[in-house]
Amino acid sequence: MTIATGDQIPDVKLTKVGAEGPEPVQTGEYFKGRKVAIFSVPGAFTPTCSAKHLPGFVEKAADLKAKGIDEIACTAVNDAFVLGAWNQRDGSGDVTMLADGNGDFAQALGLTMDGTGFGMGQRGSRWSAVINDGKVEQLNVEGPGEFKVSSADYMLDQL
C-alpha cells in the first residue's frame, strides 16, 4: 500500500550523511516536531537526479525555508558514502542526505520502482513530500520516467 496525504510516516532506520560519517536515524524521531521537505531520487549521480532534482532543491532552499520548511532532505536507495560524495559534488549543506541503503524506507512507503532493466535493481521511485510532525502533508509522486511534480518549484507553488 502506498502512503498517502494525512498518513503517519513509517518508523524506519535510515543513515544520515554527517560531517563525521554515517549516522543512524530513525524516521519517527527525525520527522517529529518539525516540517521537512523530502524528495526521493532513483539514484545518486543519475542524469535527471544530478542535472535537475537535487540542484533544484539546492537552488530553492532559502525559498522553501522562507515558506516554513525547517529542513530539506534527499533520500535514495544508495549507501551513505555514495550520497555523501554526491552531496559534495552537486549538493550543499542546505540538503540533508538520508541513505536508504536496503530500500526499507521506500518499501515501507510503497514507493518503489524496478530498475533492473537499467542494471539498478529495486530502487525508490521519484517523489517529493512535505512531512509535518511525522505526518504527510503533501505528496507528489512522479509517473515512470517523469520529472514534473516532485521538483522544488512545484513544491514551492503548493506551499
Pairing of strands 127-132, 21-26: unpaired
Query: Is 49 among the residues known to form the active site?
Result: yes
Q: Which residue in the list 14, 38, 41, 49 is annotated as catalytic?
A: 49
Instruction: Give CA–CA dist 67/36, Å, rounded.
Output: 11
What is the CATH T-level fold of the domain 13-158, as seen in this structure? Glutaredoxin (3.40.30)
Place of cell 503533501: 138
Average model confidence (pLDDT) for the chain? Answer: 91
Give residue 126's pLDDT: 92
pLDDT in tens, 85-131: 989 888 788 999 999 999 999 999 999 867 677 766 577 899 999 99
| Ramachandran area for residue 45 (φ above 0: left; ψ -120 to 50: alpha; else beta) | left
Distances in whole angstroms, Cα of residue 129 to Cα of each of 56, 117, 152: 15, 27, 10
For the record, the C-alpha cell of 141 comes out as 509522486
What is the pTM (predicted TM-score) of this model?
Answer: 0.92
pLDDT in tens, 6-41: 999 999 999 998 888 899 999 999 999 999 999 999
Are 139 and 7 a contacting pair, CB within 8 Å? no
